[in-house]
Amino acid sequence: MAKQQAEIWDAVVVGAGPAGLRAAETLGAAGYRVLIADAKPSVARKFLMAGKSGLNLTKDEPREQLQANYGDKASWLAPMLAHCSAQEVQDWARGLGVTLFSGSTGRVFPVEMKASPLLRAWLSRLDSYGVERRTRWRWLGWDGDALLFDTVEGPQRVDARCTVLAMGGASWSRLGSDGAWADVLKRKAVPLAPFKPANVGLLVDWSAYMASHFGAPLKGIALMAGDLVSRGEAVISDRGLEGGGVYTVCAAVRDGAPLTIDLLPDLSAKEIAQRLARPRGKASWSSHMRKVLKLSPPRLALLQEFCRPLPTDPEALAGVLKSIPVQHAGLRPMDEAISTAGGVTVEALDDQLMLRALPGVFCSGEMLDWEAPTGGYLLTACLATGRWAGQGAIAYLRDLT
């Protein structure tokens, strides 16, 4: 039998990632009694893991340019991002005592690069607001009007005047984002879009020839799939292709668009053909190409992997170099994806991110059906939707009084 918590919380936030913590912060700053519950032994585990290679907080670019990276959900997210722009995210982090810098591409990082100092300051702020946390509390849904949790102390029932759900998508399940909440909401007739991998690498069955290039970066290329074009880098791994350049176009690949790579995006096909037409003497085509086009060994290896035999006509070869067809076996498994698309649909929510089917229940973060490339966009939208849901919860609580 579930134990009943004696107190009634103003708000319970389920999920202690960036969206949940931002929602709790918004509610706590307004003076409400807030409880955060998370299934894992510690909070913000995916946030900390993402920050191990450098915590990319946001992208320092104009609001309209930032919003354009959210695809068909850009207009829906626009009001949330308008109140949590790249500048607001930076001001918020600095308010926590974190010193930031912008890289050459506009990506914003803490000077310390790690996520842990920011998280410690963030949790300290939440403590100052009286926000309480429970870990190893897995949300099971509702028992009557109360929230039901599976805990190390047995089942717990918690009463709350409103709830903010922020349990992530369906990738990196070992860090807490397993998508198990979807079954609970389906039973409540909440419309959900199927989960899909986003920001994930490609599976490629390489020939033995490529083994010597595993781990090598592909710089100075352009990847194209459907309407998406990326000038980001890729990495040749033993399982395929990965990296920011691949992640940017993977949504189109996922939807069936062929992927091509331009090995020389800064040169036109005509310029390439002219260089290739230079006398090569006794040099092989490979040596000639490497010399006149300055092709790095990984780029040359990719060309030879996907385009054998190579044409010897300069114009024909120039065309190949500008559009190499990538033969792949699809995307890597969803649990290996950095993020996921799918989840709670736009139609399921009102303008304040409250579920139409469940008054007083708000959703935020990767639970929502949106996607964006890496580069600060994911974290910015999680913070923006967490803040928006928190403000929606505040408006709801005020209407109750």
pLDDT, tens only, 292-305: 999 999 999 999 99
Q: Give the span between the Cα atoms of 316 and 263, in whole angstroms.
A: 15
353 plus 314 within the same structural domain: no
CATH of the domain at 318: 2.40.30.10
Answer whether residue 155 is part of any domain.
Answer: yes
Asked whether residue 191 is assigned to any structural domain, the reply reads: yes
Long-range contacts formed by 108-112: CB under 8 A, 24+ apart: 108/56, 108/57, 108/58, 108/59, 108/60, 108/376, 109/54, 109/55, 109/56, 109/57, 110/55, 110/57
Shared domain for 207 and 353, answered yes or no, is no
pLDDT value at residue 6 = 58
Domain count, the chain: 2
- Separation in Å, CA 302 to CA 155, 258, 390: 55, 16, 48
Same domain, 208 and 166: no
Range with lowest mean pLDDT among 6-10, 43-47, 260-264 = 6-10
In angstroms, rounded to a whole number, what is the distance separating the alpha carbons of residues 340 and 354? 21
In-domain check, residue 120 = yes
Q: Count each helix (H run) and each strand (E run) in the chain, helices first.
A: 13, 20
Q: Does one domain contain both 269 and 389?
A: no
In a domain, 331, yes or no: no
pLDDT for 111 beyond 70: yes
pLDDT above 90 coverage of the chain, percent: 86
Residue 96: inside a domain: yes
List, in sequence order, every beta strand (DSSP E) within 131-221: 132-135, 138-143, 146-151, 154-165, 192-198, 202-203, 217-218
Among 268, 303, 325, residue at a domain's last position: 325
pTM: 0.92
- Whether the pLDDT of residue 254 is over 80: the answer is yes
102: confidence class by pLDDT, cuts 50, 70, 90? very high
Same domain flag for 345 and 307: no
Quick: pLDDT tens for 269-291: 999 999 999 998 888 878 888 88
- The 10s digit of each residue's pLDDT in 63-76 is 899 999 999 999 99
Whether residues 44 and 10 share a domain: the answer is yes
Q: What is the pLDDT of residue 116?
A: 93
| 70 & 150 share domain | yes
Select the more confidently predicted residue: 114 or 28.
28
Range of the domain at 246: 202-325
**Does some domain include residue 47?**
yes
Structural domain includes residue 76: yes
Mean pLDDT of 374-381: 94
Q: Would you give the end-to-end CA distance of the chain in angstroms?
A: 32
Residue 13: per-residue pLDDT: 98
Q: Do 45 and 91 share a domain, yes or no?
A: yes
Q: Which residues of 345-379 are buried (b: 16+ CB within 10 A; e: fewer)?
A: eeebbeeebbbeebebbbbbbbbbbbbbbbbbbbb
**pLDDT for position 5:** 65
> Which of 325, 349, 376 represents a domain boundary (last residue)?
325
pLDDT value for 290: 86
For residue 34, the one-letter residue type is V
Residue 330: inside a domain: no
Same domain? 259 vs 222: yes
Give 11-44 pLDDT, tens digit per residue. 999 999 999 999 999 999 999 999 999 999 999 9
Same domain, 163 and 16: yes
Structure tokens given for 136: 């190893």
302 shares a domain with 173 = no
Give the domain CATH number at 36: 3.50.50.60
Last residue of a domain, one of 325, 353, 370: 325
Note whether 129 and 187 are same-domain residues.
yes
Is pLDDT at 128 greater than 90 in this prediction?
A: yes
Q: What angle do CA 316, 317, 321 make, to 5 degrees?
A: 125
Choose between 51 and 57: higher pLDDT: 57
Please, what is the average pLDDT of the chain? 94
